[in-house]
Structure formats: structure tokens, C-alpha cells
Structure 1
């Protein structure tokens, strides 16, 4: 591989990340190797290690980027139901990030950038539950866990192809909206359906 080839990527870090996301999307995180990524991205063998140090560093960067994108996707959602819809949409649009984000054994959980991104995403997730009348305390926490479980479970089943029979040709986001109505009922005339 010529050294000229390694400098034609305007952003080596981005090129390696993009290639890693493609590998994860098609083969899963276990298929990642820095040497193979360098070959696929057309960069020197040292380029991935230079930017990420090791495989765990690369997966940490992917998780961090995922949480930032995730928080952006959830921001300004009008209610809990729409936060859930955006959760499902995020998983469908960013399946590689989604696979890595929720597997803490794959990344450095003490990485400051990752921690900050996770905190921001958590704040956005909790904002959807804050307005629900749950009694506070443990009840509010459990309501949040229930909402998260529904969105995460649906997204995971959707990505793994386990909902293809149940969803069929219907829009998965609309199916999810219907599901939320089964669990989160109106509590006030001004609340959105499903809250």
C-alpha cells in the first residue's frame, strides 16, 4: 500500500469510523479488527491505532458518537410517545451505533467523552417521563424503565428481523405508536395519546 493512498482521505479518523460502522452493520462488532479496517479503508496499518489506540478505543468512539446522535434525535420531542418513536427511528437509521452503545463491555465506560454523551442522552430520555403522573420516587423510576424497555425492546426486535411477521408492510414507527397506546394511557385531557 503506498503512503500516498493513506493521505487521500481528508479525514482519516472519519474514514476509519465509517468503515468500522459498515463492518458492524453487516457483520457485527465481533468482526472488527484494526488491521482489517485499515485494509478496507485504504489507510496504513498504523492509522486506526493512531486515532483510537486499540479496538476498544474505536468502539468507545463509536458509542460516544452514537450517544451524541441519539441525544440529538431525542431532543425537543413533544412527549414520551414521540421520544419512543425517535428511539426506534434512531436504531433503524444507526444500527451499528445502536449495537455498540448498549454493550458496555465493548467500550471504556470511564471515558470522559462517553460519560458526557451518555449523560446528555439520559437527560433526553428522562425528559419524556418527567411529565407523567407516576407518584414520584421509585414509581417515576419504574415508569422510565418501562418506557425504555418498550422502546429498546421494540427497536432490538426490529433490527434483528424478529418483527417482520408482526409488522409486515406497516411503518414500524406507527406500529410503535400503537403499542405505546396499549401501555401508557391518557391521564389528562391535554396529554397526548399514549402518555
Structure 2
């Protein structure tokens, strides 16, 4: 271990932390174990993360950056039309929320701590994409007018609810994607009965 040189220790620790989070949950995450996993001394991680909370915050910030990248990719792949873009973003969010449920929980919990300004900014970047999409839908007449933030919260709550039910094994994973598609269609259609 002492002869091992690590080119990008911070990135390696974050990758190991994300794997550990997926497998064992946040309670089992320890800097000492991560150091052992990446092959450095137990003190080496302290150069990048002075304590466990700093590691958790960095992990949550990286999670928001990845969520933003995945939502951007979904928007780009869907083209310019509102409905396909909304379907793409919804599917991307569901994928993230079901594949990385523990990370998403950490992301949401972390941004409410005092002094978590970087997390708040990272969350705003990711969810700003959803807000922009809601504004597009309203400008095109596909969505009813109203406060885009409130409309976006309703959509996010719906998507997150489907993901939570899926993660809790209350919805079979194969059914979740269809439910998201239906939820998006109903969201666009609104409360009409015709």
C-alpha cells in the first residue's frame, strides 16, 4: 500500500463511495474503508475530505451533476418538441431514481443542511432544466398557465412517487416505465375528461 501512487484520489474515493452507497447504504460509508478499497493509507482521504460529512456532501454534489447531465442528454436526444422532451426527462429521472435510490436520498437530504450552498446550487442546476421545460410547455400551450415552479413540483412529486413505489417493490420494475409514460401523458392532458 505504501508504494501505491494514486493519480486522482478524489475521483477514486467518490467512485468507491458511490459503489458502497449502492451496496450498503449511507450508514456503512466510512473514509477508512474507502481508503482501504482504493489502496491508500487511512489518512490519505483527509486531504480531499476533512470528515465524513464532507465526503457525503461531495457525493451528493456529484450526484446532482450526474443527474443534470442525464437530464440534459435526455433533452438533447428528444429533439425540440415539448412532449417527447418531457417523456425523455421523465424516463431519465425514473432511471436515475431507481438505479441510484440511496444516492438520490442522500442528495435530497444533504441540500437542506445549513451551509450546503454548493448542494443547493447543484440541485438548482439539475431542476432548473425541469423548470425550463415546464416554461416551454406553457409557452407552447401544451400546459396550463401557472407558476412553473409549482407545476414542476407536482410533476417531480409524481415521478418521485413512482420511483419510490418501484424501489419499495410495490410496482414491478417492468411496469414503472409505462406508468411514467402514462403519468406524463396525463400531466400534459390535464384534468380534462374528454
Q: Give your verdict on TM over 0.5.
A: yes
Q: How does 1:13-162 map to 2 (within 5 A)?
A: 13-75=10-72, 77=75, 78=78, 79-104=85-110, 110-130=115-135, 131-132=137-138, 133-137=143-147, 140-162=148-170
Aligned-residue CA RMSD in angstroms?
2.5
Tell me the distance in 1 between the aligned counterparts of 2:176 and 2:7.
37
Aligned length, in residue pairs? 177
Gaps of 5+ in 1: 188-195
Q: Which residue of 2 aligns with 1:179?
A: 183
**Aligned partners of 2:43, 2:30: CA distance in 1, in Å?**
12
Q: How many Å separate the matches in 2 of 1:95 and 1:41?
A: 24
| Separation of aligned partners in 2, 1:142 and 1:112 | 22
Output the TM-score relative to the length of structure 1: 0.77
Structure 2: distance between partners of 1:109 and 1:43: 32
> TM-score scaled to structure 2, two decimals?
0.78
Moved over 4 A (4+): none
Unaligned runs of 5+ in 2: 79-84
Contact 1:22 1:96 in 2 (8 A): no
Q: Which moved more, 1:126-135 or 1:54-63?
A: 126-135
1: CA distance between counterparts of 2:20 and 2:62? 16
